[in-house]
Amino acid sequence: MINLEAPKKAGALINQAYQAAAEVFRPISRKYDRAEHTYPSELDMFAALLDGLNSSGEGGAGAAGVRRSEKDNGPKGNRNGANLNVVLGTIEMCWGDVGLLLSMPRQGLGNAAIGSVATDEQLERFKGLWAAMAITEPDCGSDSAAITTTATQDGDDYILNGEKIFVTSGQRADAVVVWATLDRTKGRAAIKSFVVEKGTPGFEVVRVEHKLGIRASDTAVLRFENCRVPRENLLGTPEIDTAKGFAGVMQTFDNTRPLVAAMAIGVARAALDETRRVLTEAGVVIDYDRPALTQHAAAATFLHLEADYEAAYLLTLESAWMADNREPNSLQASMAKAKAGRTVVDVTLKCVELAGAYGYTEESLLEKWSRDAKILDIFEGTQQIQQLIVARRVLGKTSAQLK
């Protein structure tokens, strides 16, 4: 069974991530919120540190893949591995600043895609690459299966044509993992992911978006026009298996959704910590030994927010733990993403309210966190999409049966 306490062996990682968040991210958080599209050069040193943690097997606060084998002959029993470490590290780093974490070199969501579905040869070849992930299109939002970007085989290459929007680190990353269809007539099963490196002819960064939050992170619009990609850059197998359907590509989300949930938890905890300080200075006592209805209204509200935070936190740990133990975690990943995404929005907005004028001004980071929070309820699948996935799995319905 899962142990709901953070494993002791993760203590050093958690402490390192917290120190980076407190000593580096927090002091420059407002600076890069104001200086949108400016690369935070302070992050280069910490990216190198995370590279070292990942290569040592300890795991870092970046992206790791969910890899499962039907012939897993490893040690039996409960395992707390890379996925749980990544989640715990991400929580601490996003307590500092989620936009800065998303700006870290070689920690992109595309790296999670490579880690999840790449072959062993591809893993080695793309090692050290900073990869963004390009899924969303102008006419295709939450329904990833409806993408229209095409990949047509031409000899030893594939020719990509299409446009992608809202690509996190799309301008700064070394490469982009692009989702495209090999055959529109074969539906979801024909969707594959391709690693397209910067500088490839036909690959263009059209623009970088101005955003509500996570302004330290660049979000780009990309265009692919007769973009020739070697067939060796198709992640996984090129075969179209209609029986397996979309499962191979969607395996990526088994990892990235808990990762985004962890980001939300880090931001929510930051807001709760700051609000607790504000309430304490105002003389509001938060008493865990008394019923909420007998306490100050602000204290009662704070206790309710903490309860939601704790539920999201535990769901996220469970989904990561299941991945480490090679258990199917798609349901739990969506549950964690849905709960954490909704919770961080509720928590940050209510914390701004509890802090009054102080929370609404740039004197504190509460107003910034309330802006950063919304994207965490949107990307990697919106709240509504996660609820649909959960309902389908609980009820045993297909996407055609339950829309």
Positions marked catalytic: 380
The residue written with tokens 């959960």 in the block is 390
Look up residue 81 and give its amino acid. G
CB atoms within 10 A of CB 209: 14
C-alpha 403/C-alpha 400 separation (Å) is 6
Torsion over CA: 188, 194, 200, 206 (sign): positive
Helix-helix angle 383-395:330-355, to 10 degrees: 140
CB atoms within 10 A of CB 22: 13
Side-chain half-sphere exposure of 44, counting CA atoms within 13 A: 4
User: Which residues is 152 bridged to in the sheet?
Assistant: 159
Residue 118 to residues 103, 193, 238, Cα–Cα distance (Å): 23, 10, 12
C-alpha 197/C-alpha 353 separation (Å) is 45
Q: What are phi and psi of 152, to 5 degrees?
A: -105, 125
CB atoms within 10 A of CB 4: 11
Torsion over CA: 226, 231, 232, 237 (sign): positive
* Residue 299 · residue 279 · CB < 8 Å: yes
Residue 120 makes CB contacts below 8 A (sequence gap 6+) with none
